[in-house]
Structure 1
Amino acid sequence: MSEEETMQRGNWKNWWEFLFSSVGCLVGLGNIWRFPYICFKNGGGAFLIPYFIFMFLCAMPMMFLEMTFSQYSNLGPGKVWVCCPLLKGIGYGMVILTGLVSTYYNVILAWALYYLGMSFYPQLPWTSCNNDWNTVHCMLRGMNTSSPNSSLLVENHLKNATNVANNTDMLRTPAEEFWEHNVLDLSDGIDNLGSIRWQLLLCLFAAWLVVFLCLFKGIKTSGKVVYVAATVPYLFLMTLFIRGLTFNIDGAVKGLGVFLIPRWEDLLKFSVWCDAAVQMFYSAGLGWGGIATLASYNNFNNNVFRDAMILPIVDVVTSVFAGCVVFVTLGFMAEEAGVSIDKVVDSGPGIAFIVYPEAVSKLPLPQLWAVLFFLMLFVVGLDSQMVHVQTLTGALLDNFPKVLYKWKTALTGVLCFLGFLLGIPCITQGGVYILTLIDWYSASVAVMLLTFLEVASLAWLYGVDRIYKDLEVMIGYKPSSLWKIMWLFVTPLAILIIWIVSLVRYSTVTYGEYKYPTYAVGIGWLIAISSLVSIFVGIISTLLNTGDQSTPLFQKLRISIQPTTQWKPAVTTPPGGMEMRKSLI
Structure 2
Amino acid sequence: MAAIGSAIGLGNIWRFPAVTYENGGGAFIVPYLLALLTAGIPLLILEYTLGRRYRSSPPGALRLLTRPAEAIGWWQVAICFVIAVYYAAVLAWAVRYIGFSVTQAWEDNPDGPEGFFFTDFLESAETPGEISTFVPGVAWPLILIWVLVLAILIAGVRGGIERANLVFIPLLVVFFLVLVVRALTLDGAGDGLDALFSPDWSALDEGGVWVAAYGQIFFSLSVGFGIMITYASYLHRRSDLSGSALVAGFANSSFEILAGIAVFATLGFMAAQAGVAVSEVSDSGVGLAFVVFPQIISEMPGGAFFGVLFFASLVIAGFTSLISITQVIVSAVEDRVGLGRRAAVLSVGGAVGVVSVLLFANDSGLYILDASDHFINQYGIVVAALVLVVTVAWVTRSLKSLQRDADATSAVGLGRWWRICLGVITPLMLAWMVWDSLTDEFDENYGGYDTSFLLWAGWGAAVGALVVGVLLSLVRWRRTPRQPAAEEDGATTATGTSTNGTTGTTGTTGTNGTTDERGQ
- TM-score band by shorter chain is 0.7 to 0.9
Pick from 405, 416, 425: which aligns with 1:490?
A: 425
Q: Return the letter of the residue paired with 2:85.
A: T
Pick from 250, 253, 272: which aligns with 1:313?
A: 250
1:454 and 2:388 aligned = yes
How many Å apart are 1:534 and its aligned residue? 5.0
Aligned length: 485
Q: Give the equivalent residue in structure 2 for 1:167.
A: none
Q: Give the equivalent residue in structure 2 for 1:88.
A: 70
How many Å apart are 1:419 and its aligned residue? 2.3
- Whole-angstrom CA distance in 2 between matches of 1:324 and 1:426: 32
Q: Give the equivalent residue in structure 2 for 1:125.
A: 105
Question: How far does the alpha carbon of each residue in 1:505-532 deviate from its partner, in whole angstroms, 9 at most, with x for none?
Answer: 3365555xxx322211221222221222
Query: Would you say the 8 A contact 2:211–2:429 is kept in 1?
Result: no
1:269 and 2:206 aligned = yes
Question: How far does the alpha carbon of each residue in 1:459-482 deviate from its partner, in whole angstroms, 9 at most, with x for none?
Answer: 231522322333355449963222
- Whole-angstrom CA distance in 2 between matches of 1:266 and 1:488: 27
Question: How far does the alpha carbon of each residue in 1:185-236 deviate from its partner, in whole angstroms, 9 at most, with x for none?
Answer: 1210124322111111111111111212222211111211111211212111
Structure 1 residues 285 and 343: CA distance shift in structure 2, 3 A = same
Q: Return the letter of the residue paired with 1:277.
A: Y
Q: Return the letter of the residue paired with 1:457.
A: T
Q: Give the equivalent residue in structure 1 for 2:30.
A: 49
Q: Return the letter of the residue paired with 2:49.
A: T
Q: Tell me, what secondary structure is at the counterpart of 1:267?
A: helix
Matches within 5 A, 1:216-295: 216-219=154-157, 220-248=159-187, 251-295=188-232
Query: Would you say the 8 A contact 2:80–2:329 is kept in 1?
Result: yes
Q: Give the equivalent residue in structure 1 for 2:462.
A: 528
Pick from 149, 171, 183: which aligns with 2:121?
A: 183
- Whole-angstrom CA distance in 2 between matches of 1:506 and 1:286: 24
1:29 and 2:10 aligned = yes
Query: Would you say the 8 A contact 2:240–2:411 is kept in 1?
Result: no
Q: Give the equivalent residue in structure 2 for 1:8.
A: none
- Whole-angstrom CA distance in 2 between matches of 1:347 and 1:214: 30
Q: Return the letter of the residue paired with 1:494.
A: M
Query: Would you say the 8 A contact 2:211–2:432 is kept in 1?
Result: no
Q: Return the letter of the residue paired with 2:260.
A: G
- Whole-angstrom CA distance in 2 between matches of 1:426 and 1:64: 35
Structure 1 residues 292 and 509: CA distance shift in structure 2, 3 A = farther
Q: Give the equivalent residue in structure 2 for 1:66.
A: 47
Q: Give the equivalent residue in structure 2 for 1:518.
A: 451
Structure 1 residues 307 and 332: CA distance shift in structure 2, 3 A = same
Pick from 97, 102, 110: which aligns with 2:79?
A: 97
Q: Which range moves more in the overlay, 382-391 or 464-473?
A: 464-473
Query: Would you say the 8 A contact 1:83–1:564 is kept in 2?
Result: no
- Whole-angstrom CA distance in 2 between matches of 1:477 and 1:389: 31
Q: Return the letter of the residue paired with 2:144.
A: A
Structure 1 residues 429 and 540: CA distance shift in structure 2, 3 A = closer
Q: Give the equivalent residue in structure 1 for 2:290.
A: 353
- Whole-angstrom CA distance in 1 between matches of 2:94 and 2:30: 33
Structure 1 residues 474 and 244: CA distance shift in structure 2, 3 A = closer
How many Å apart are 1:492 and its aligned residue? 2.2
Q: Give the equivalent residue in structure 1 for 2:90.
A: 108
- Whole-angstrom CA distance in 2 between matches of 1:22 and 1:504: 33
Q: TM-score, normalised by structure 1?
A: 0.78
How many Å apart are 1:494 and its aligned residue? 2.7
Gaps of 5+ in 2: 486-492, 504-520
How many Å apart are 1:180 and its aligned residue? 1.3
Question: How far does the alpha carbon of each residue in 1:121-164 deviate from its partner, in whole angstroms, 9 at most, with x for none?
Answer: 2xx122x3xx3xx34xx3xxxxxxxxxxxxxxxxxxxxxxxxxx
Q: Give the equivalent residue in structure 1 for 2:311.
A: 374
Q: Tell me, what secondary structure is at the counterpart of 2:59?
A: coil
How many Å apart are 1:540 and its aligned residue? 6.8
Structure 1 residues 321 and 437: CA distance shift in structure 2, 3 A = same
What fraction of aligned residue pairs are identical, expressed as a percent?
27
Query: Would you say the 8 A contact 2:44–2:245 is kept in 1?
Result: yes
Q: Return the letter of the residue paired with 1:199.
A: G
Structure 1 residues 442 and 503: CA distance shift in structure 2, 3 A = same
- Whole-angstrom CA distance in 2 between matches of 1:91 and 1:421: 24
Query: Would you say the 8 A contact 1:289–1:391 is kept in 2?
Result: yes
Query: Would you say the 8 A contact 2:282–2:288 is kept in 1?
Result: yes
- Whole-angstrom CA distance in 2 between matches of 1:430 and 1:446: 22
Pick from 350, 355, 364: which aligns with 1:417?
A: 350
- Whole-angstrom CA distance in 1 between matches of 2:10 and 2:412: 37
- Whole-angstrom CA distance in 2 between matches of 1:488 and 1:229: 36
Q: Give the equivalent residue in structure 1 for 2:414.
A: 479
Question: How far does the alpha carbon of each residue in 1:42-71 deviate from its partner, in whole angstroms, 9 at most, with x for none?
Answer: 110111111111212211111111100101
Q: Tell me, what secondary structure is at the counterpart of 1:36?
A: helix
Q: Which range moves more in the overlay, 363-372 or 234-243?
A: 363-372
Query: Would you say the 8 A contact 2:186–2:265 is kept in 1?
Result: no
Query: Would you say the 8 A contact 1:75–1:296 is kept in 2?
Result: yes
Q: Give the equivalent residue in structure 2 for 1:444.
A: 378
Q: Which range moves more in the overlay, 532-541 or 517-526?
A: 532-541
Q: Which range moves more in the overlay, 337-346 or 489-498?
A: 489-498
Q: Give the equivalent residue in structure 2 for 1:207.
A: 145
- Whole-angstrom CA distance in 1 between matches of 2:378 and 2:120: 30
Q: Give the equivalent residue in structure 2 for 1:363.
A: 300
- Whole-angstrom CA distance in 1 between matches of 2:267 and 2:411: 49
Matches within 5 A, 1:379-418: 379-401=316-338, 404-405=339-340, 408-418=341-351
How many Å apart are 1:454 and its aligned residue? 1.1
Q: Tell me, what secondary structure is at the counterpart of 1:244?
A: helix
- Whole-angstrom CA distance in 2 between matches of 1:120 and 1:256: 27
Q: TM-score, normalised by structure 2?
A: 0.88
How many Å apart are 1:100 and its aligned residue? 0.4
- Whole-angstrom CA distance in 2 between matches of 1:79 and 1:389: 17
- Whole-angstrom CA distance in 1 between matches of 2:391 and 2:129: 42
- Whole-angstrom CA distance in 1 between matches of 2:90 and 2:412: 44
- Whole-angstrom CA distance in 1 between matches of 2:100 and 2:242: 45
Structure 1 residues 291 and 565: CA distance shift in structure 2, 3 A = closer
- Whole-angstrom CA distance in 2 between matches of 1:485 and 1:242: 42
- Whole-angstrom CA distance in 1 between matches of 2:134 and 2:329: 27
- Whole-angstrom CA distance in 2 between matches of 1:535 and 1:385: 20
Q: Return the letter of the residue paired with 1:411.
A: A
- Whole-angstrom CA distance in 2 between matches of 1:565 and 1:354: 51
Question: How far does the alpha carbon of each residue in 1:249-282 deviate from its partner, in whole angstroms, 9 at most, with x for none?
Answer: xx00111111011111111222212222222221
How many Å apart are 1:241 and its aligned residue? 1.1
- Whole-angstrom CA distance in 2 between matches of 1:517 and 1:465: 47
